[in-house]
Structure 1
């Protein structure tokens, strides 16, 4: 499905989604029109979901990253729908996963400070009945990327 040129286009767009078609075409050795058509095809088939600006959390005062492990005794579709919809309404939850193993759900939360996280935590525990909530605060970010390996 993907050839080497498509992979190179995707890699370059992951580095900088604002690159012009002319510059992108030059870097993958295509003329602008075929390059543009390839990018449009990659968007149309869903390999490029969107193009976004990545913000600096620290510059925005969101210095605390918290991983929240949630366990529940509820496993019905209705409970999950309620929980998922409630979590979706908390903007500080930037990632949300249903897990296998001992933890049922894992959330990544960004906050200004511990007091701000406590405010978020209080919102979270009101969303749906939970059995256990465990919060782990990141001490240092060693690697964080949105780039997928191609």
Structure 2
């Protein structure tokens, strides 16, 4: 689904399906149908429609980030010397190779990029910072350490305004 296309309206069945699959993407068709209160065939048809509409883009295991990567989340704002397309592309490509980078965003405003990094400790972050500042064209880096995670959703919440009557 492209960013300019308005997402389809969802009914209460669709929302229940999305909520169930967000909690457990591995649940069987039968368990899903039973949990939402719909028979098997319409449940499968609705899931396929949600996939075709681009609202379900895949299924994955949610891994324990703290156990596998580190306990410290760091948000790093990066400003480049130049904001030309080739410099932006080069930075994105090089940062994508760093396993500590969990997500990256091209930004408007004071910095060019915002990176969410996960590291084991301050020494690990210092090593990452050295690698980041060695990337050609990096002019300025500013770091903010997360003290606590209080929201970490696996998917966006679905607003009630998106519900329409059942098909």
Give the alignment's TM-score, normalised by structure 1. Answer: 0.91
**In structure 2, how many angstroms separate the alpha carbons of the residues matched to 1:52 and 1:123?**
30
Q: CA RMSD in A?
A: 1.5
Structure 1 stretches of 4+ with a deviation exceeding 3 A read none
Q: Which of 68, 73, 78 in structure 1 is aligned with 2:76?
A: 68
Other structure's SS at 1:131 match: strand
**In structure 2, how many angstroms separate the alpha carbons of the residues matched to 1:113 and 1:14?**
31
Q: Which residue of 2 aligns with 1:139?
A: 147
Instruction: Name the CA shift for 1:61/1:81 in 2 (closer, same or farther; >3 Å).
Output: closer
> How far off is 1:5 after superposition?
1.1
Q: Which residue of 2 aligns with 1:83?
A: 91
Report the number of matched residues: 150
Structure 2 residue 81 is the aligned partner of structure 1 residue 105 = no
Q: Is there any run of 5+ residues in structure 2 with no aligned partner, and where? A: 1-7, 159-167
**In structure 2, how many angstroms separate the alpha carbons of the residues matched to 1:21 and 1:64?**
38
Other structure's SS at 1:59 match: helix
Q: Is the 8 A contact 1:96 1:107 kept in 2?
A: yes
Q: Which residue of 2 aligns with 1:53?
A: 61
Q: Which residue of 1 aligns with 2:103?
A: 95
Q: Which of 20, 34, 37 in structure 2 is aligned with 1:26?
A: 34
Q: Is there any run of 5+ residues in structure 1 with no aligned partner, and where? A: none
**In structure 1, how many angstroms separate the alpha carbons of the residues matched to 2:143 and 2:119?**
13
